[in-house]
Amino acid sequence: MPAALRTYATEASTPKRLRSPWMTTLFLFGAGCVGYGLYDLYKMLTLWPPELRDDLRSAIQAKHKGEFSLSEAYFQRAWEIAQALALDVFGREPYLKLSGILIALADAFEVEDKQNEAYDTYVRAYEYLVDPARSETLTPREQLRVVAVATKLGEMAEKLKKPQAEEEKYLEAAVNRIVKVLLPLQGAQQGAAVASDEKSTPDTLPSSSALSIELPPSDEPSQLLLAELDLPEWVTIEDVGAPLQNAAAFYTRIGRYDLAMPLYLHAISLLIPPAPRKTIPQDRCRGAQMMVALSEAILRNPKNPQRLEQAYAWCEKALEVVQETRKGLTKGKSPPEPLCEVTFVVVLFSLGMVAEAQGDKAKSHRLLSLGIRHARSIGLDLGDSTKEQLEDHGVETKDDAEKEPVSGEASSTAH
C-alpha cells in the first residue's frame, strides 16, 4: 500500500503537537474540550482546591492568548503548590488532577513547539504516576492515565529520535499496564495473552472477548476532567487499541514479528469482538485498518514462507468487514461513515499491492484502479506522492478518469 495513504483515515490537524493519527482516532474518550468556552473552563476550576485556582485560571488564559511562556510559568507554580497540599483536597482519583497539571504544562510546551521540553515534562508526569509510593493505589481510571502518557511518550520518542530502548520502554509499559488494568476488570481468562503464531490467518482470530474497558462510575464526568485544564484529547481513553497497535508497529519496525503478531491480534479482537458483542461502524472499520497493518507485518517477515498467502487473506478479511459495515449503514438508511469510506480505499490498495507481489499483475491493476475510482467518488485527494507510486504500477490517476462507485466490483475482483 502506498505509504502516503496510511494515515489518511486518521490524520489529525493539531497545531505543533506531535500527535499520531492513531492516538487521536483509536482511543479518544468523550467530547473533549472543544465545546467549552473559556468561561466554562473557568467555572470548572471550582472543582480544584482554592489554592490553585488563580494560577490555573491565569495559565489557561495565557495559553489561549498565545502567551505560552507565561502560561508555562503559572502551570509550573500550580504544580509546586499542589505538591504541598493534602491529597484529600483533590477529591476522588486525585492523581488524575495532579498529573493533569503536568500534562497541561507539557501541552503548552508542545503547542509552542518546544518538543524536548514537552517530552521531559511528560516523563515527569509518567514517573510521578508510576512512583512506587502511589502506583499500587491507582484506580482503574488513573491506571489508564498511565497508559495514555506512556503511549504518548512512545510516540514522541520515535518522532524525536530518542534511543530505541527508550521508545520500547514506554510502549511496553503501556501494554503491561493494560494487562494490569484489564485482569481485575475483565477476568483473568479475558486478559490472557494470545499466543504468538507466525502462521496466523483470519480463521485463527482469537475468540476471547474484546479488551474494551468498562470503568466504574465517577463523580466527575470524563469530559470535565479533560476540559478543566484544557488538556489534549488523548489524555482520557476508553479502549486500548492504539497502545497495542503502536507497540505492534514498533516491533514490526525492528523485526520482532513474534511480539508484533499477538498485539495486532489483540487489537483486532478489541475492535471487532466475536458475536454476540457488537461494535459501532467506526470501530469495525478501524479493525479493518488493523488487519491491513497486520498483513503488512506478515509481508515483512522473511522467515514466513506463506507470508504472501496470509497477507492477502487478512486483506480479504478486511475487505469483507468494510463491505459488510458499509452495507449495514446503507440498509439502516444511515449516511456513509467517512472513516469506512477511506478504509475501503486503503483495503483496495493493500489488496492490489499484495496481488502484485504474488505475481498477479492483472488483478493488482484492477484492485488499484478500483481504489482510485472510489477515492474520487468520495472526493479523497490521494496526493502527489501516492499518485506517483500508483502510476509506477501502471495505474491511471488522472482526475478525468472514471468516478463511479465500485462497491459491487470489489469483492468479485479480490477473489
How many C-beta neighbours within 10 Å does residue 273 have?
Answer: 20
CA-CA distances (angstroms) from residue 403 to 335, 371, 373, 377, 379? 19, 10, 5, 5, 9
From 100, 98, 96, select the one nearest 84 (Cα to Cα): 98
Cβ-contact 242, 252 below 8 angstroms: no
- Supply the pLDDT for residue 80: 98
Number of H helices, E strands in the chain: 19, 0
**Phi, psi (rounded to 5 degrees) for 112:** -80, 0
Written out in words, the top-level CATH class of the domain with range 243-397 is: mainly alpha
Give CA angle at 286 (283, 291), nearest 5°.
125
pTM score over 0.95:
no
- Supply the pLDDT for residue 306: 93
Which residue's C-alpha cell is 489524555?
235
- Supply the pLDDT for residue 149: 94
CA-CA distances (angstroms) from residue 129 to 136, 220, 229? 10, 20, 18
Which residue's C-alpha cell is 491493476?
365
d(CA 132, CA 228): 27
Third-level CATH fold of 38-186+224-238? 1.25.40
Which amino acid is present at 77? Answer: R
Instruction: Say what angle helices 50-64 and 68-83 make with each other, to 10 degrees.
Output: 160
Cβ-contact 389, 373 below 8 angstroms: no
From 105, 134, 108, select the one nearest 121 (Cα to Cα): 105
Report the length, in residues, of the chain. 415
**Phi, psi (rounded to 5 degrees) for 333:** 60, 30
- Supply the pLDDT for residue 339: 92
CA-CA distances (angstroms) from residue 257 to 161, 195, 355? 22, 12, 22
Q: Decide: helix, strand or coil at residue 247.
A: helix
- Supply the pLDDT for residue 273: 83
Question: Domain extents for the chain?
Answer: 38-186+224-238, 243-397
pLDDT of the chain along its 415 residues, tens only? Answer: 555 455 444 443 334 555 443 333 222 222 232 233 344 445 567 778 999 999 999 999 999 899 999 999 999 999 999 999 999 999 888 998 999 999 999 999 999 999 999 999 999 999 999 999 898 899 888 888 999 999 999 999 999 999 999 999 999 999 988 877 755 555 443 444 433 444 556 655 433 333 444 444 544 444 444 445 666 666 555 556 788 889 999 999 999 988 998 899 988 988 888 877 788 899 899 999 999 999 999 999 888 899 999 999 999 999 999 999 999 998 888 899 999 999 999 999 999 999 999 999 999 999 999 999 999 999 988 877 777 877 777 777 776 545 555 656 666 667 6
